[in-house]
Amino acid sequence: MPIIHADVCLFDLDGTLVDTQYASDCAWSNFCNRHKVDPSEIMNSSGPGITGEFIRKHFPSLELGSDEAVQELEYSVAYDYLDSVRLIPGAKKLLIDLNTNSLTKNKFIKPRWAVVTSGSPYLAHMWFRTILREVGTPEVFITASDVTKDKPDPEGYRKACFELCNLWDSSMKDAKKVVFEDSPQGIKAGKGVGATVIAVTTTFEKFKLYEAGADYVVSDLTGVHVKKNTFTGSIILDVQDPLINQSN
């Protein structure tokens, strides 16, 4: 059972903490049908993202402005299909445990974890107002609007680590970082800040995740436990039954 010491824990969101794939697919399908575009052409592209750039590329004759289209799609995901959005198993418990002093059982005012997502501020914050409302929005929350470069560039993780270390008056240089991810791009970003990376197989097969540099791969977050989390010293995590890296 691997034991990991961490000063900060950094989480990707989509595919790592929440599963929005079905909601996103439904929103795209309805959007395509309304605007007379074959949904299969969009769904077969390499992961349609709800961005103005993607919409301008694939809907060149759209009368709706790209910003308005993004808002329409995001609203549809968040409201029309909210019931189909799911938590990754183990995610809520892990975050609540990171919010809680393991000795006193009191809630930290400034937990040592952050979200680093390539998603929009609107949707990312929406999940913490709905299915993750019991956890609460972390103080450090990095979205696409906070960075100039997307993953695999480590900018987002570097920024989150810097902000968390400032909150705790600790050295970013010496901070032990753990990143939770579901994609090769995200794993590379995590490794780019010198983090130990725990990846979940919610989106990609384990060999792809190990190939990208993941240190541990798990099916979901039920096997990741907080053993110690206090004001002093490192957060201590254990990873139960990580999937075997067969390339070793």
Residues 6 or more apart from 35 whose CB is under 8 A from it? 59, 62, 64
Among 194, 202, 203, smallest CA distance to 222 is for: 202
Q: What is the pLDDT of residue 49?
A: 66
How many CA atoms lie less than 13 Å away from 135 in the CB half-sphere? 27
Residue-wise pLDDT for 24-48, tens only, equals 999 999 988 888 888 887 777 655 5
Residue-wise pLDDT for 146-174, tens only, equals 999 999 999 999 999 999 999 988 888 78
Query: Is the whole-model pTM more than 0.85?
Result: yes
Residues 6 or more apart from 131 whose CB is under 8 A from it? 18, 82, 85, 86, 87
Whole-number Å distance between alpha carbons of 156 and 189: 8
Query: Which has the minimum average pLDDT: 42-46, 181-185, 191-195, 211-215?
Result: 42-46
Rounded average pLDDT over 109-134: 96
Q: Three-state SS for 8? A: strand
| Catalytic residue from among 14, 80, 83, 215 | 83
What residues does each domain of the chain span? 3-19+86-239, 21-84
Residue 231 φ/ψ, nearest 5 degrees: -70, -25
Residue-wise pLDDT for 58-108, tens only, equals 787 777 677 888 899 999 999 999 999 999 999 999 999 999 999 999 999
Hey, what CATH class is 3-19+86-239 in?
alpha beta
38 an active-site residue? no
How does the average pLDDT of the chain come out, rounded?
92
Token code pair at residue 120: 């929009």
Token code pair at residue 86: 């799911």
